[in-house]
Amino acid sequence: MASRIYFDHSATTPLDPRVFSAMAPHLSSAAGNPSSPHHEGRQARQAVEFARGQVAELLGADPAEILFTASGTEADNLALLGALRARHLSESHIITTAIEHPAVLETCRALERRGVSLTLLPVDGHAQVDPSALCAAIRPETRLVSVMAANNLVGTLQPIAELAAITKAQGALFHTDAVQAAGKIPLNVKYLPADLISLSAHKLHGPQGIGALYVRGGVTLDPILFGGGQERGLRPATENVAAIVGFGMAAALAAAEIHSEAARLSALRGRILSGLRARLPHATLLGHPVERLPGHLCLGFPGHEGDMPALVIALDEAGVAVSSSSACSTAKAGAPAPVLQAMGLSADRARGFLRVTLGRFSTERDADRFLDLLPQAVSSLPSTRQAETFSATPG
């Protein structure tokens, strides 16, 4: 039986075996609590601090600027709530975009319910923010601007260096949710004037349930959780040592391979796209044609948006994992995707897409098998059999 093809890396990535090996000793019964003064505790502390250095290096940061959190979602919450809590909320203004992940968007809405004034920047048809829109929206009372580095649904990259520079010139804090971008495109805080950056290990072949927040030296946050004093009092809980070690190794591997992997995945993406143009000329690429994550494809099938969930099931049965909705979407199944609507797609067109996202273990063979299986899956859909309008050329 042919092995399965996993093309859903934006949802989560398989653990790299080298990451697993690094984690394994810390899952054994000898693992200590990093706050304990005995040998086992000291070993655990050493492992956590080594991993902190590895994650810092991915961003060109100082290890003291990295806080471990339980997820990317928690890092986003800590960045936004932690930066705003100490302020007079009703006199504060924050800016984000209409295409953020719910971890940012819902946190901003929670702040809005507490009296903060919120501006959502629009995006263009490629899902990109125009820096001049930020210039127009930013005001003296703007405390924080949050713009994601790369969009999870369509893969578009944002001009975050420019947006951060505009924000800093106004004296506000700049946060970027780099959960999808970290380890895939270079991010270096020596050149990127961001104050706060959210990361998540499971998007870069690390374990699930561990994230990090980069906090630039000198930036102060209020805690959103209360307890012991771990992570400088900003994330009080016993550290998840094995997951932190795994995150460190995943970050080190991503940093070492970032340029070669970006080139390899872009080529693989190009191979799929040109194969698709020959086989399914009806399909369109959503998001930016060039400024996008290397291994990210988001496809539209105009007129067949409602068929996407069935297409995902047909592909799953054929051995391919892709997605037709964001794994973290708060939208109801069949409802228009807010990101696509923000890009100007009609409610009907925004109802369906096929997200195909590649990763470290994706191969040319996988890409070619996918190109064979997709037209077959398309032709098995009830609407295709009835209407013959899907332009599927089996091949």
d(CA 52, CA 101): 25
Q: Which of 47, 48, 61, 103 is in the footprint of ligand PLP by CB under 6 A?
A: 103
Nearer to ligand PLP, 273 or 328 (CB): 328
CB of 96 to ligand PLP, least distance (A): 12
Counting contacts by CB under 6 A, is residue 250 touching ligand PLP? no
Q: Which of 200, 240, 362, 384 is in the footprint of ligand PLP by CB under 6 A?
A: 200
State the burial class of residue 176 (Cβ atoms within 10 Å of its Cβ: 0-12, 13-18, 19+): buried
d(CA 172, CA 183): 26
328 catalytic residue (yes or no): yes
Helices 241-279 & 39-59 angle (0-180, nearest 10): 30
d(CA 269, CA 263): 10
Of residues 155-174, which lie at the interface with ligand PLP (CB under 6 A)? none
Binding part of the chain for ligand PLP, among 70-78, 263-271, 283-291, 365-373 by CB under 6 A, reads 70-78
Counting contacts by CB under 6 A, is residue 377 touching ligand PLP? no
Map residues 289-328 to x or -, x wherever contact with ligand PLP holds by CB under 6 A.
---------------------------------------x
Counting contacts by CB under 6 A, is residue 177 touching ligand PLP? yes
Residues near 208 by beta carbon (within 8 Å), at least 6 away in sequence: 12, 201, 202
Nearer to ligand PLP, 207 or 275 (CB): 207
d(CA 40, CA 301): 56
Binding part of the chain for ligand PLP, among 19-27, 41-49, 68-76, 259-267 by CB under 6 A, reads 68-76
Q: For residue 232, what are the CA distances in angstroms to 96, 141, 179, 369?
A: 27, 28, 22, 49
Binding part of the chain for ligand PLP, among 67-75, 85-93, 118-126, 276-284 by CB under 6 A, reads 67-75
Q: Which of 108, 135, 298, 328 is catalytic?
A: 328
Say how many residues make up the chain: 395
Q: Which residue is nearest to ligand PLP (CB)?
A: 72
Residues near 129 by beta carbon (within 8 Å), at least 6 away in sequence: 97, 121, 122, 123, 147, 158, 159, 163
Counting contacts by CB under 6 A, is residue 211 touching ligand PLP? yes
Phi, psi for 121 (deg, rounded to 5) = -75, 140
Counting contacts by CB under 6 A, is residue 148 touching ligand PLP? yes
Alpha-carbon Rg of the chain, whole angstroms?
A: 22
Nearer to ligand PLP, 69 or 341 (CB): 69
d(CA 127, CA 318): 31
CB of 136 to ligand PLP, least distance (A): 25
Counting contacts by CB under 6 A, is residue 180 touching ligand PLP? yes
d(CA 212, CA 217): 15
Counting contacts by CB under 6 A, is residue 97 touching ligand PLP? no
State the burial class of residue 229 (Cβ atoms within 10 Å of its Cβ: 0-12, 13-18, 19+): exposed
Nearer to ligand PLP, 45 or 235 (CB): 235
Nearer to ligand PLP, 67 or 374 (CB): 67
Q: Which of 13, 43, 54, 71 is in the footprint of ligand PLP by CB under 6 A?
A: 71
Counting contacts by CB under 6 A, is residue 73 touching ligand PLP? yes
CB of 178 to ligand PLP, least distance (A): 8
Q: Which of 72, 294, 300, 338 is in the footprint of ligand PLP by CB under 6 A?
A: 72
Closest by CA to 172, choosing from 236, 107, 238, 80, is: 80
Amino acid identity, position 365: R
Q: Give yes or no for a contact between 357 and 297, defined as CB atoms under 8 angstroms apart.
A: yes
Of residues 326-355, which lie at the interface with ligand PLP (CB under 6 A)? 328
CB of 72 to ligand PLP, least distance (A): 3
Closest by CA to 247, choosing from 73, 40, 53, is: 53
CB of 79 to ligand PLP, least distance (A): 11
Per CB under 6 A, residues contacting ligand PLP are 71-73, 76, 101, 103, 148, 152, 177, 179-180, 200, 202, 211, 328
- Positions annotated as catalytic residues are 328
